[in-house]
Chain A
Amino acid sequence: MATLNSNIPAGPLASKWESYKFNTKLINPANKRKYKIIVVGAGLAGSSASATLAELGYEVHNFVFHDSPRRAHSVAAQGGINAAKNYQNDGDSVHRLFYDTIKGGDFRAREANVHRLAEVSVNIIDQCAAQGVPFAREYGGLLDNRSFGGAQVSRTFYARGQTGQQLLLGAYSALNKMIGAGAVKSYTHSEMLDLVVVEGHAKGIVVRNLQTGAITKHNADAVVLATGGYGNVYNLSTYARGANVTASWRAYKRGACFGNPCYTQIHPTCIPVSGDYQSKLTLMSESLRNDGRVWAPKKKEDCKKAPKDIEEGDRDYYLERMYSAFGNLAPRDIASRAAKTVCDEGRGVGETGLGVYLDFSAAIERLGEGKVRERYGNLFAMYHEITNEDAYKTPMRIYPAVHYTMGGLWVDYNLMSNVPGLFVLGEANFSDHGANRLGASALMQGLSDGYFVLPATISGYLASQNPGKRPATDKAEFKQAEENVEALTNQLLGNKGKRTPASFHKALGTLMWDYCGMARTKAGLERGIKLISELREEYWKNVMVSGEGNEWNQSLENAGRIGDFIELGELMCRDALHREESCGGHFREEYQYTPDDPETKQGIVNPGDVKRRDDAFAYVAGWEYAGSPAKAPILNKEPLVYEEVHMSTRSYK
């Protein structure tokens, strides 16, 4: 059994981080350059961490599977980044951001981590502005803000509808400076395929060069994974096609625990699925819910009518009706589930009946088309390209889609996994968003982890390691990991199967969406586990990979990643099955509020809202690999001890 010690520092919540930084061990500048750190990934977390660690004087090696460190999917985040600056003087504070985030996560995040995140948020905006991130500004030259779901203040900073891109380019520029200075060595088209653990500590990785197929070993004093989320396990998602779980999964197989894998975010405002050829889903930014009103026809008969032919009185603005305090800005999990409910009732719109309207006519009337165009022009254009419809004239059709994963490798307060020396940042870790992430918080967390948290916490670990004494790559553990990667590659290439990796991915995606999607049940999850394990067995017998190992081979790349997704899918179902409660994005049909519950009668919640069971499930599930994909993994628990916040019933009414 692994031990999951959160290592939360003592003291009052609001001063933990300050006193931690004061008490942590420092490394003198002359010694810093003797430590080599591997960072895998170059999204917001990976780039910001690589740049900052190099500024501090460490020798940094950064690995990405992309052709350039500027491509990671952080680049696609549209809406914005939260920070408790209170520039709007509307009552925001670090405490309010902290509370909104922990409540938004349905009281399943680690309290101390979330508070630190809220504290650090203000520094991120300063850092990015100084780097030249062109945030939106008011005419006076000061920074502008907008509102996002789950908050009643305007604390979101943005750069048109391309905030993620601009923040990533900022972090990439910081990284460029350090690459140019020779302080970071950048490896592109380099995919991590194994973690090397020596005497229980993470001390290196094995990498395949995607251009040449060369497999190489790299040692380090510490390994940092910033490799993003795993939503592509569903095949269809808003993720980039290349996003994958492989780095995290291989680390899991080397002993790192996987935290809360079933916590998935289904984003409410995506363009609905149109056909089975589809390769990805496209998000329409949550910022649209600032001015757009979500509705569905009240009557089933109206669903096939053109929206303009449906009378005002026959429209159900269901979010405004059900969650009057937050209305269209209800958190994502709630808005998504409400859309599903409406469609399940037969009131969905569009060809498939899986869609609701997001309507801007009121905003256009109030603000004028020009203002709406200025705020959301690029999103309307994107919608038009994909659907061939003009959202200035007719409402958008939207439906929920997989967008983010709150689960990830388990880390302690230092962002270190249970394998010493292995740190995990950004979406790849589990810690800050609980069971549901609020909008504009992913960018905040990625940059907080990379610019500010890890650079402060990693020294505590490194100080316990002798400088200049990292194991060499000729050690047996490195050889074994290299052989493991070669064997897997050869197995995939030598397998004379009949089914393409993509067809397995589609099959897996369907199973995951049906049994581990927006609504989950015991029977469904049990069935999912059975079917996925059968799919896994078929995979290794019947997958067909073309080409050779020593060349650019996308079929081989995908095959490796999909094999890992299949195993992960099974783990997600197991986690969802064991968690006999509903919380945030994890909705178990058996655990929901009914009209008879006192909370419903008091008007705190609606019937059908998620029902947590704090007495039994107020913990992080850290799953430990049992040595073979066919063996049931071991469940470890980290109790969620809240020192200041009371775990209450989440209400947005």
Chain B
Amino acid sequence: MKVKLKVWRQKSRNTPGEFRTYESPGLNENMSFLEMLDVVNEDIANRGEDPIAFDHDCREGICGTCSCVINGKPHGPHKGVATCQTYMRSFRDGDTIVVEPWRAAAFPIIKDLVVDRSAFDRIQHAGGFISVRTGAAPDANSIPVSKENSDLAMDAAQCIGCGACVAACKNASAMLFVAAKVSHLGLLPQGQPERYKRVKAMVAQMDTEGFGSCTVTGSCEAVCPKEISLDFIARMNRDYGLALLKGEPKKIAGGVAG
């Protein structure tokens, strides 16, 4: 099979970009989408031109690096998979495929299809953790966790941090991403002491980074390669509301009152 690619090319953050069209060489339908890009890039390189820059690493849907909008949909046509798990058998011979980067003010373009997602890291620095010093942990079985909560925490914890949720959202909101982390930790007994402090800090950082607000359209859930549920956003909103009601902890001599 062969396809035609319309790809966003942009040399750097501050230079204007444009779509350019490439004809693929002969392809095999069992190729992954990224292998197709490899083959097209070899062609481009052999012509002495600059290959298409795209982000990828694990190529098995777990590292969260790959990030293409394919025919208008982050991570392409299928539910519950990342770009790297999309195969050419999902397209037809002769198709034109439009390939774009994530578009969001908080994810500036680095080159072509590669964007800067460091805003996600900074949100995590603000509170995406349970404070436990190495070596200070009690025996793991001394903190039983109900299977239901542990499974639900795992559902949230699966987030691969790719940013498709932001790319899909018309407001470029990062709520699903933040909600996944907040819920993962907030569902576990270990995460309780910092639960309300955490949600406030992470939401504040999210706002600082310039992500939009959530209007619950659900497009994030629809494109999430790990199918993380919108319910976690509701859960986070509840925690956030409670955190606001609780207000700042009152300072008392010699310590902090909850």
Bound-state CA distance A547–B126 (Å) is: 37
Contact A179 B125 (CB under 8 A): yes
Bound-state CA distance A386–B81 (Å) is: 11
Contact A71 B131 (CB under 8 A): no
Contact A552 B125 (CB under 8 A): no
Q: B256 within 8 Å of A by Cβ? A: no
Contact B134 A68 (CB under 8 A): no
Contact B59 A279 (CB under 8 A): yes
> B13 to nearest A CB, angstroms?
9
**Which B residues are in CB contact (< 8 Å) with A388?**
30, 87, 89
Contact A131 B130 (CB under 8 A): yes
Q: B60 within 8 Å of A by Cβ? A: yes
Contact of A386 among B49, B87, B126, B188 (CB under 8 A): B87
Contact B110 A552 (CB under 8 A): yes
**Which A residues are in CB contact (< 8 Å) with B154?**
134, 159-160, 166
Q: B208 within 8 Å of A by Cβ? A: no
Contact B31 A140 (CB under 8 A): no
Contact B121 A68 (CB under 8 A): yes
Which among B34-42, B98-106, B238-246 touches the partner chain? Answer: B34-42
> A82 to nearest B CB, angstroms?
14
Which among A10-18, A96-104, A122-130, A593-601 touches the partner chain? Answer: A122-130
Q: Give B158's nearest chain A residue, CB to CB.
A: A162
> A210 to nearest B CB, angstroms?
9
Contact B125 A180 (CB under 8 A): yes
> B193 to nearest A CB, angstroms?
12
Which among A170-178, A406-414, A615-623 touches the partner chain? Answer: A170-178
> A234 to nearest B CB, angstroms?
15
Contact B32 A279 (CB under 8 A): yes
Q: B210 within 8 Å of A by Cβ? A: no
Contact A382 B60 (CB under 8 A): yes
Known interface pairs A73-B57, A137-B147, A165-B158; A55-B64 also in contact (CB < 8 Å)? no
Which residues A41-77 have CB closer than 8 A to chain B?
Answer: 48, 51-52, 55, 66-73, 75-76
Q: A211 within 8 Å of B by Cβ? A: yes
Q: A503 within 8 Å of B by Cβ? A: yes
Q: A29 within 8 Å of B by Cβ? A: no
Q: Give B157's nearest chain A residue, CB to CB.
A: A134
Contact A70 B161 (CB under 8 A): yes
Which among B111-119, B170-178, B212-220, B228-236 touches the partner chain? Answer: B111-119
Contact A68 B117 (CB under 8 A): yes
Contact A552 B137 (CB under 8 A): no
Contact of A139 among B45, B120, B127, B147 (CB under 8 A): B147
**Which B residues are in CB contact (< 8 Å) with A22?**
none
Q: Give A48's nearest chain B residue, CB to CB.
A: B134
Q: A280 within 8 Å of B by Cβ? A: yes
Q: A299 within 8 Å of B by Cβ? A: no
Contact of A177 among B30, B131, B190 (CB under 8 A): B131
Known interface pairs A280-B59, A552-B53; A132-B38 also in contact (CB < 8 Å)? no
Which residues A182-196 have CB closer than 8 A to chain B?
Answer: 186, 188
Q: Give B117's nearest chain A residue, CB to CB.
A: A67
Contact of B184 among A52, A132, A211 (CB under 8 A): A132
> B153 to nearest A CB, angstroms?
4
Q: Give A381's nearest chain B residue, CB to CB.
A: B80
Q: A275 within 8 Å of B by Cβ? A: yes
Q: A274 within 8 Å of B by Cβ? A: yes
> A546 to nearest B CB, angstroms?
5
Q: B150 within 8 Å of A by Cβ? A: yes
Q: B74 within 8 Å of A by Cβ? A: no
Bound-state CA distance A123–B110 (Å) is: 41
Q: Give B26's nearest chain A residue, CB to CB.
A: A277
Contact B118 A552 (CB under 8 A): no
Q: A538 within 8 Å of B by Cβ? A: no
Q: B4 within 8 Å of A by Cβ? A: no
Contact A551 B11 (CB under 8 A): yes
Contact A277 B31 (CB under 8 A): yes
Contact A142 B59 (CB under 8 A): no
> B123 to nearest A CB, angstroms?
9
> A21 to nearest B CB, angstroms?
11
**Which B residues are in CB contact (< 8 Å) with A76?**
58, 60, 62-63
B79-111 CB contact bits vs A (8 Å, 1 = yes)?
A: 011000101010000000000000000000011
A118-157 CB contact bits vs B (8 Å, 1 = yes)?
A: 0000010111111110111111111100000000000000
Bound-state CA distance A313–B27 (Å) is: 41
Which residues A330-353 have CB closer than 8 A to chain B?
Answer: none
Which residues A70-93 have CB closer than 8 A to chain B?
Answer: 70-73, 75-76, 85, 87
Contact B58 A240 (CB under 8 A): yes
Q: A555 within 8 Å of B by Cβ? A: yes
Contact B30 A73 (CB under 8 A): no
Contact of A71 among B59, B64, B126 (CB under 8 A): B64
Known interface pairs A71-B63, A176-B124, A279-B34; A503-B42 also in contact (CB < 8 Å)? yes
Contact B111 A552 (CB under 8 A): yes
Total interface residues on A, CB under 8 Å, equals 80
B43-60 CB contact bits vs A (8 Å, 1 = yes)?
A: 001101111010111111
**Which A residues are in CB contact (< 8 Å) with B117?**
67-68
Q: A311 within 8 Å of B by Cβ? A: no
**Which B residues are in CB contact (< 8 Å) with A55?**
133-134
Contact A173 B81 (CB under 8 A): no
Bound-state CA distance A385–B90 (Å) is: 11
Contact B144 A142 (CB under 8 A): yes
Known interface pairs A68-B121, A141-B144; A132-B134 also in contact (CB < 8 Å)? no
Bound-state CA distance A131–B158 (Å) is: 15
Q: B139 within 8 Å of A by Cβ? A: yes
Contact of A134 among B62, B126, B188 (CB under 8 A): B188
Q: B19 within 8 Å of A by Cβ? A: no
Q: Give B48's nearest chain A residue, CB to CB.
A: A546
Q: Give B111's nearest chain A residue, CB to CB.
A: A552
> B216 to nearest A CB, angstroms?
26
Q: A319 within 8 Å of B by Cβ? A: no
Known interface pairs A137-B147, A279-B34, A502-B42; A173-B57 also in contact (CB < 8 Å)? no
Contact B124 A172 (CB under 8 A): yes
Contact A546 B51 (CB under 8 A): yes
Q: A242 within 8 Å of B by Cβ? A: yes
Q: Give A55's nearest chain B residue, CB to CB.
A: B133
Bound-state CA distance A61–B53 (Å) is: 28
Bound-state CA distance A211–B116 (Å) is: 10
Contact B45 A544 (CB under 8 A): yes
Q: A392 within 8 Å of B by Cβ? A: no
Q: B21 within 8 Å of A by Cβ? A: no
Bound-state CA distance A208–B12 (Å) is: 17
Residue from A125, A126, A382, A500 having most chain B Cβ neighbours under 10 A: A126
Contact of A129 among B56, B89, B190 (CB under 8 A): B190
Which residues B57-77 have CB closer than 8 A to chain A?
Answer: 57-65
Q: B254 within 8 Å of A by Cβ? A: no
Bound-state CA distance A186–B141 (Å) is: 33
Contact A137 B150 (CB under 8 A): yes
For this complex, 28 residue pairs linking A to B, each with C-beta atoms less than 8 Å apart, are A55-B133, A55-B134, A66-B65, A68-B120, A70-B121, A71-B64, A76-B60, A76-B63, A126-B138, A128-B140, A129-B137, A129-B143, A131-B190, A132-B130, A132-B184, A141-B146, A143-B141, A172-B124, A177-B131, A179-B121, A179-B125, A180-B126, A278-B31, A278-B35, A279-B59, A388-B30, A546-B49, A552-B12
Q: Ordered nearest first, which 5 A-B pairs have the shortest CB separation?
A: A141-B144, A130-B137, A173-B129, A129-B140, A180-B125
Chain A residues packing against B (C-beta within 8 Å): 48, 51-52, 55, 66-73, 75-76, 85, 87, 123, 125-132, 134-143, 159-160, 162, 164-166, 169, 172-174, 176-177, 179-180, 186, 188, 211, 240-242, 274-275, 277-280, 282, 381-382, 385-386, 388, 451-452, 455, 500, 502-503, 544, 546-547, 551-552, 554-555
List 15 extra interface pairs beyond A87-B141, A240-B63, CB under 8 A: A66-B57, A67-B116, A67-B118, A72-B63, A135-B140, A141-B150, A173-B128, A174-B134, A240-B57, A274-B28, A275-B30, A280-B60, A452-B135, A502-B42, A555-B51
